[in-house]
Amino acid sequence: MAAWLREEHGLPGWWSQAVTVGWERARGRAPGQRADGFEVSASRTVAVPVERLWAAWEDPAVRERWLPGAELRTRTATAPLRARYDWEDGATRLAVWFEAAGDDRSRLSMAHQRLPDADAAEGMRDWWRGRLDEMKRVLEAG
């Protein structure tokens, strides 16, 4: 629908997507709902270089300090820009993007995808916010 609005009616990309989402929500699509389940996202800006932020995810010893006991299996990775992981049993996935925001600051954005329902999504949103707060604390403490 968004492509049709853009191509046939000349509606700019952002607006064509916004109209499409509004139309889908009016017909019962829940926030965060995708074709393959639900998705939640979170982001943090951290006062460390992007390479250290990358290591917080890729180095198991560093990751254990802020995400203890988590099972991540790398699907694809392009250091230090982005990575995709299978989460725990592989039923859900994580997509993580890393961006330098200067020499000693970086930004992380992540999405937890394929969650089974809205309740699971809301719980994971809150959980990830706490985990990313802890990641930021650990990294900025040195």
Residue 79, pLDDT above cutoff 70: yes
Single-letter amino acid code for the residue at 95: A
Is residue 60 located within the same domain as residue 86? yes
**Encoding tokens for residue 92?**
């859900």
The domain spanning residue 130 has which CATH number?
A: 3.30.530.20
Mean pLDDT over each residue of the chain, to the nearest integer: 90
Angular region, 69: left φ>0, alpha ψ -120 to 50, beta rest: left
Is residue 26 located within the same domain as residue 73? no
What's the pTM? 0.79
What distance in Å separates the CA atoms of residue 109 and residue 129, rounded to the nearest whole number? 11
Is residue 18 located within the same domain as residue 72? no
**Per-residue pLDDT tens digits for 41-68:** 999 999 999 999 999 999 999 999 999 9
Is residue 59 located within the same domain as residue 116? yes
Cβ(48)–Cβ(55) below 8 Å: no
Q: For the chain, how far is it from start to end, CA to CA, in angstroms?
A: 48
**Per-residue pLDDT tens digits for 10-53:** 888 888 877 766 766 666 565 556 666 899 999 999 999 999 99
